């Protein structure tokens, strides 16, 4: 039976794995300890460990270790350990995007409304000049050009 301890450097917290059987009844012939370390940013949140049979390719790469495990008189026993890191983000990316896009859309809409308010009198005058039934004096001068000659 083995139990592993990991210490978080930032907080000093100690995280223990459960006890796992490496030798004896119920243990695999060539054990592989899978250690999963959960972290968020630089902080260690927890650790778990489980034992499984080492894949054949691992056993082929480590023939000395396999021979030592099968030899009951050889001590200390060495064990293969595989570490996996499970990273949990503090910021949920999907929620951030769902908040960012509508906020950007509202900002663009507010800018468009503000711009239209600034040009509203000019736009109203332009539309009145274009749709007027009779030509006003200013419109006639603009139509004839700066020299007052029609084209």
Give the start-to-end residue ranges of the domains of the chain. 5-87, 93-144
In tens, the pLDDT along 53-64 reads: 999 999 999 999
pTM of the predicted model over 0.85: no
Question: For strand 31-40 and strand 14-16, is the pairing parallel, antiparallel, or unpaired?
Answer: unpaired
Whether the pLDDT of residue 145 is over 60: the answer is no
CA dist., res. 84 & res. 25, Å (int): 27
pLDDT tens track for 27-58: 898 999 999 999 887 788 889 999 999 999 99
pLDDT reported for residue 143: 55
Q: What share of the chain is helix, strand, coil (3-state, %, to 5)?
A: 40, 25, 35
Per-residue pLDDT tens over the stretch 74-123: 989 889 999 999 988 777 777 888 888 999 999 999 998 888 888 888 88
Tokens of 121: 């009198």
Average pLDDT, the chain: 84
Q: Assess whether pLDDT exceeds 80 at residue 151.
A: no
Site of tokens 């210490």: 7
Output the pLDDT for position 133: 65
Q: What is the phi-psi region of residue 26: left when phi exceeds 0, alpha when psi lies from -120 to 50, beta otherwise?
A: left
Whether residue 126 has pLDDT greater than 70: yes
């Amino acid at each position: 039976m083995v139990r592993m301890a990991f210490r978080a450097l930032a907080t000093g917290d100690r995280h223990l794995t459960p006890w796992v059987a490496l030798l004896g009844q119920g243990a695999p012939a060539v054990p592989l300890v899978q250690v999963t370390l959960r972290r968020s940013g630089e902080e260690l949140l927890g650790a778990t460990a489980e034992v499984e049979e080492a894949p054949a390719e691992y056993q082929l790469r480590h023939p000395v270790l396999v021979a030592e495990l099968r030899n009951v008189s050889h001590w200390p026993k060495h064990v293969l350990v595989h570490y996996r890191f499970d990273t949990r983000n503090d910021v949920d990316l999907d929620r951030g995007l769902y908040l960012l896009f509508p906020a950007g859309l509202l900002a663009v809409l507010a800018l468009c409304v503000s711009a239209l308010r600034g040009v509203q009198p000019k736009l109203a005058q332009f539309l009145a000049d274009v749709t007027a039934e009779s030509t006003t004096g200013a419109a006639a001068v603009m139509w004839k050009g700066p020299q007052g000659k029609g084209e």
